[in-house]
Amino acid sequence: MFILMDKNSFVYGKIKRFCECKLGIPSQCVQYAHVQKAQPQYISNVLIKFIANLGGFTNTAFAQQTVKGILDNTTVVIGADVSHSPPGLKGPSMAAMTVSMNL
């Protein structure tokens, strides 16, 4: 984990390239101002990203015995999320969607 003093994309890019391309290890960069505030939502988001970078997962959709019955048939799982600008700021909303299907 790297704590950056500001949003310097040059430094961020150097860190990411070195860690992931040269060393072959995941990295996580955070901004000092956000770390200093230590807001629970920020910490949670960073930890979720950290876990995902290490190949883990943060939740499951079904109990193991339920999955077996569902996945015996062709199944499509769709996930979607929308992120909005903070209150008071005019900015675009971002939407993302993912689909997974077994045959």
Q: How many domains does the structure of the chain reveal?
A: 2
Q: What average pLDDT score do residues 23-52 get?
A: 86
Q: Which residue has the higher pLDDT, 101 or 70?
A: 101
User: Are 50 and 73 found together in one domain?
Assistant: no
User: Are 5 and 47 found together in one domain?
Assistant: yes
Q: What average pLDDT score do residues 52-60 get?
A: 71
Q: What average pLDDT score do residues 38-55 get?
A: 83
Query: What residues contact residue 100 under an 8 Å CB cut-off, 6+ apart?
Result: 76, 77
pLDDT the model gives residue 63: 57
**Domain span including residue 73:** 60-103
Element (H, E) at 98: strand 94-102
pLDDT the model gives residue 77: 81
Q: Write down the residue that tokens 């499951």 correspond to.
A: 60
Amino acid type, 45: N
User: Are 67 and 54 found together in one domain?
Assistant: no
pLDDT the model gives residue 95: 92
User: Are 50 and 67 found together in one domain?
Assistant: no
Say whether pTM exceeds 0.85. no
Say how far apart CA 35 and CA 46 lie, in whole Å.
Answer: 10
